[in-house]
Structure 1
């Protein structure tokens, strides 16, 4: 989330310099509800005592309304194809979402 947030901030700055300012916040989709709650809730908890600087930068961007943090269900998380071993049916489903299909071999 931290790397994606940094990219969003950089891209929004670039677009602003080009004269294309954004009125709405940019969605940063995440499937980790705990990370979303930690980033969006400024209340100190014992379990968040050792949060790194990355979380504070995400929280700052969230509070400034640069980003919003919508939840993505694990069932439609497309990144799973790159990070997990999947059954064939799930793999093919995600390939379809990425619009990756085998092209027929030409003779």
Structure 2
């Protein structure tokens, strides 16, 4: 999430420099509800004392309105088609979400 957040901040800065400032926060979809809660809740907990600079960076971006952290169910994580082994039906479902077409060869 930290790397994606830094990319969003960089892209927003680039767009602003070329004359296209963004007024709405960019959604950074995540499936880890614990990470979303930690990033959006500024309250210090004993279990979060090991959190590094990355979390504070994301929390700051959320507070400034640069990003939002909507939850995406693990069942709908399209990236899993590239990173995990799964049943054919599940793989076909996720690839279908990418809206890629396998065009037949011309005769």
Q: TM-score, normalised by structure 1?
A: 0.94
Distance 1:57 1:36 in 2: 13
Structure 2 residue 28 is matched with structure 1 residue 3: no
Equivalent position of 2:51 in the other structure: 51
Gapped regions of structure 1 (runs ≥ 5): none
Within 5 A, what are the aligned runs for 1:36-75?
36-75=36-75
**Structure 2 partner of 1:94:** 94
Deviation of 1:82 after TM superposition, in Å, equals 1.6
CA RMSD of aligned residues (A): 1.1
Structure 1 segments of 4 or more deviating over 4 A? none
> For 1:49-98, what per-residue CA distance to the aligned partner results, in whole angstroms no more than 9, with x for missing partners?
11011111000100111000000111211111122111110100111111
Contact (CA 8 Å) 1:61, 1:67: kept in 2 or not?
A: yes
**Aligned residues between the structures:** 107
Unaligned runs of 5+ in 2: none
